[in-house]
Amino acid sequence: MPISFSIDAFRRVETITEIFRTESKLHGYTSIIPGSVTSYQEITSYYPDALRRSVKYTGPDGNIYTVKSDPTHFVTRLASQNKRTGSLVQKYAYSTSKLNWRTNNGHTVENLQCGLEVYDSDTVLSEAETIRVACRVLEKSGIGKIVIDLGNTKFTEILLESCMIEDNTKMKIRNLIDSKNLPELQSLIESTNMPDETKSAFMILPQLFGPPKATIERAKQIALSEAAQAAIQRVEVLYESLIDYGFDKSMIRIDFSFTNTYSYYTSSIYKVYTADSGQVLAAGGRYDNAFGYGLAACGIALYLNEINEVIEMKQLKNSNFYTKDFAIYYAKEDRKNAFKLSDLLREMGYIVTADEQLDFSTKSAASDAEEVVRISKGQLEIMNQRMNTFSKSSFEQFIRKVEDQYVPSSIH
Amino acid sequence: MSQVQSTNPLKIAVAKGRVAKQTMKALCKAGYTLPDDPGRSLRIMDEDKTIDMLFVKSADVPTYVELGVVDIGIVGKDVIDEKTYQIYELMDLQIGKCDLCLAAYEEFDYNKISFLKIASKYPVQSYAFLESKGIQGQVIPLEGSVELGPIVGLSDCIIDIVETGRTLEENNLKVIESIKPISSRLIANKIRYKTNTDLILEFMNTLKLQLSLEV
């Protein structure tokens, strides 16, 4: 199933991508285009279950390749090569699409995503920065009521490592904790011979989420080792860093039940969503030594299909969603003036369309321009759709006003 | 930056039919003021406007929950296990109890068949059964009246949920093997569970208490 968007959705996605490019550039991320094809074996040798839903093909050399499966693999390899040149902290931003089999109906779905990745930095601050940039993109795209969930996969992993149980059972426990399925988790752990103290800790894990301070305190009470305490501390520092970035306390939750289903995340894990919707809009975490390249790494991906759906469902109105600055309509005798005006505005950096038609009342013709301008007998009638105002002026007055007052608000 | 608050009623999707009736009965006993019979209404709210219930086809309940149209849902384990949903499965409500069973004619023995044909509304769980038994076979997906499968020679047996066994009996079929017990589960949208935690936990505890009193 290819990307299936309406024109409005494509415009929205383009706008969000532009916001992402601007924000990531402002934070010092280098923009790259990840390659589409990856060696299947190279990924599965580190993460055996990670590519179950990816699209694969056998190449002429007999090897199996995946198509648009994991941009992180490409970026990690790039960062590893760059490290040899002596580069310090490396920050990359990308926009791409991912192909996945949808197991429920057997279709292939293509999902658009933007991502940030930071290499050679093991600090919590790098993680906080990726979350901050992702949230700024969401907010500037018109999404409100943002909630950030922070967790640390080590918390569960340390507990699992302390148990003498089979890998298969560990995976089942991870899945049940992840789905907060208490009845089945209880019956599974009761069937094992782990100590009662560990059993109790596992039963608490799915419920170990909520407001930061209280949840961290509860976690400290069941942390059985120094390593578990260190995992909690990392979450605490990440939370404090986000507060210092200006996030409201109520926007941040802690969830220690996040598990490491594909053995991919090695420590912090985070998810961003809006209280208006039931879908995750951005997610990421720390994946040190990803694919065996030996680099400290963290990142976040913004899911554009889901973000677009939220905006569409909630019919969010946002000033960024004008695709043009000016739509100019003119009568034939004013064509020369209209062309001149259009070029002048374009030279100032505005997006302008010009049509030989005087009736600009039709909504479809003018709905995506911030200002609609009608030129008739040398006079200009201007309708500002954002401000809902109507005015008349001469050619010269209008140019002067544009030079003095306006900044482009459409996609640039 | 904005703060998150929720004052909306708790939105619940419930599988139409027996589960909906049992749920409404339990909620009424727990103090929610709901109509005795919702009739053909697909949506009702309690008098205090604390819960907003949607009555939907059971197979659609997890979809409503996963996409966040509702906060929580009540649906059978058979439906949850048939597809992969990104949801939380919070509680076994111990209502709508039945079993997922392999049923066939009296003389049927799957150990004597080299290639087993199963008619079922549950292809995923049927293939899982074949795999768990190490049997070669094929699942013929049907949407209803699966009992017809063995009767018309479409399949050797069926895999379906069995409550009383009366339908099987009327079609000369019997339960050969009970695969797993089924009951209704309380499921939640992963995000709503976190943004509406107090409301959902309060509802869960109320329902749990009421249902435990009934058992």
Q: Does B50 share its domain with B66?
A: yes
If asked whether residues B102 and B91 sit together in one domain, one would say no
pLDDT band of residue A408 (cuts 50, 70, 90) is: low
Total structural domains within chain B = 2
Q: Is residue B5 part of a domain?
A: no
* pLDDT tens, residue by residue, B179-205: 999 999 999 999 999 888 889 999 998
Q: Does B69 touch chain A (CB under 8 A)?
A: yes
For the cut 70, the answer to whether the pLDDT of residue A156 exceeds it is yes
Measured between CA atoms, how close is B84 to chain A, in angstroms? 6
- Amino acid identity of residue B150, one-letter, is P
Residue A310, pLDDT above cutoff 60: yes
Average pLDDT over residues A96-112: 79
Please check whether residues B151 and B51 belong to one and the same domain.
Answer: no
- From the list B2, B3, B192, which residue is nearest A278 (CB)? B192
Tokens of A125: 């601050």
Domains, in order of start, for chain A: 7-314 (3.30.930.10), 325-405 (3.40.50.800)
pLDDT of A366 reads 60
Residues 276-335 on A with a CB inside 8 Å of B are 277-280
pLDDT for residue A104: 58
pLDDT value at position B10? 94
Q: Which residues on A lie below 8 Å from B2 (Cβ)?
A: 144-146, 248, 251
| B16 lies in the same domain as B89 | yes
Residue found by looking up tokens 């007999």 in the block:
A62
List Cβ neighbours of B191 (8 Å cut-off, separation of 6 or more).
A147, A273, A275, A277, A278, A279, A280, B68
Taking a C-beta distance cutoff of 8 angstroms, is the pair B75, B187 a contact? yes
Q: Hey, which of A189-198, A233-242, A271-280, B86-95 has the most confident mean pLDDT?
A: A233-242
Instruction: Identify the residue among B195, B198, B208 best suited for mutation to test binding to A, counting A beta carbons within 10 A and taking the highest.
Output: B195
Co-location of B15 and B76 in the same domain = yes
Answer yes or no: do A250 and B197 touch at CB < 8 A: no
What is the average pLDDT across B118-134? Answer: 94
- Phi, psi (degrees; rounded to nearest 5) at B71: -80, -45
> In this complex, do A179 and B88 lie within 8 Å of one another by their Cβ atoms?
yes
The answer to the question of residue B41 being in a domain is: yes
**Confidence at A164, pLDDT banded by 50, 70, 90:** confident
ipTM of model: 0.74
Put simply, whether A209 touches B (Cβ < 8 Å) is yes
**Which of A103-117, A193-207, A295-309 has the highest average model confidence (pLDDT)?**
A295-309
In this structure, are B194 and B120 located in the same domain?
no
B111 vs B14 pLDDT, higher one: B14
User: Is residue A107 within 8 angstroms of chain B, CB to CB?
Assistant: no
CA A143 to chain centroid, in Å, comes to 12
Cβ–Cβ below 8 Å for B191 and A273 = yes
Helix or strand run (H / E) with residue A21: helix A7-26
Higher-confidence position of B119 and B35? B119
Q: Which residue of B has its CA nearest to A275?
A: B195
With respect to residue B3, please indicate whether it lies within any of the assigned structural domains: no
Enumerate the residues of chain A whose CB falls inside 8 A of the CB of residue B83. Answer: 103-104
Q: C-alpha distances in angstroms, A244 versus A140, B2, B188? A: 20, 15, 32
Please name the residue ranges forming H helices in A84-225.
124-140, 153-161, 167-178, 182-190, 196-204, 212-222
Contact A157, A171 (CB under 8 A): no
pLDDT digits (tens, 9 = 90+) for B150-169: 999 999 999 999 999 999 99
Tens of pLDDT, residue by residue over A39-91, are: 888 888 888 777 778 888 999 999 999 999 889 999 999 999 988 877 688 99
Q: Which two tokens stand for residue A238?
A: 């990440």
Question: What CATH number should be reported for the domain holding residue B133?
Answer: 3.40.190.10
- Average pLDDT score over residue span B116-143: 93
Query: Are B4 and A103 an interchain contact pair (Cβ–Cβ within 8 Å)?
Result: no
pLDDT band of A357, cuts 50, 70, 90: confident
Assess whether B58 and B104 both reside in one domain: no
What angle, rounded to 10 degrees, do the helices at A226-244 and A153-161 form?
A: 180
Asked if B85 and B163 sit in the same domain, the reply is no
Q: A379-391, pLDDT tens digit by residue?
A: 898 888 877 888 8
Residue A234 in this model has a pLDDT that exceeds 90:
yes
SS3 readout for A108-140: EEEEEEEEEEEECCCCHHHHHHHHHHHHHHHHH
pLDDT of the residue at A319 = 44
The minimal CB distance from B6 to the residues A210, A273, A275 is found for A275
Q: A232: pLDDT confidence band, cut at 50, 70 and 90?
A: very high
Residues B111 and B126 in one domain: yes
Residue B125 lies in a domain: yes
How far is residue B183's CA from residue B77's CA, in Å, rounded to a whole number?
6
How far is residue B175's CA from residue B187's CA, in Å, rounded to a whole number? Answer: 29
Report chain B residues whose CB lies below 8 A from the CB of A254.
none
In Å, how far is A96's CA from the nearest CA of chain B? 23
Query: What are φ and ψ of residue A205, in 5° steps?
Result: -50, -50
Whether B37 and B60 share a structural domain: yes
Whether B132 and B170 map to the same domain: the answer is yes
Residue A365 pLDDT > 60:
no
A316, pLDDT greater than 60: no
Q: Which domain holds residue B73?
A: 10-96+183-214
Please state, in angstroms and rounded to a whole number, the distance separating the CA atoms of residues B108 and B145.
20
| Mean pLDDT to the nearest integer, A294-318 | 85
Residue B123 lies in a domain: yes
- Using a CB-CB distance cutoff of 8 angstroms, which residues of chain A are in contact with residue B190? 278, 280
Q: Which amino acid is at B82?
A: E
Is the pLDDT higher at A11 or at B103? Answer: B103
Contacts of A246 in chain B (CB under 8 A): 1
Q: How far is CA A71 from CA A3, A94, A107, B138, in A?
A: 18, 8, 21, 37
Alpha carbons B143 and B153: distance in angstroms, whole number: 17
Residue B17 touches partner A, C-beta closer than 8 Å: no
B2 falls within a domain: no
Same domain, B195 and B91: yes
- Of residues A103 and A267, the one with the higher pLDDT is A267
CA-based nearest residue in chain A for residue B67: A278
Distance from CA of B16 to the nearest CA of A (A): 22
d(C-alpha A272, C-alpha B84), whole Å: 22
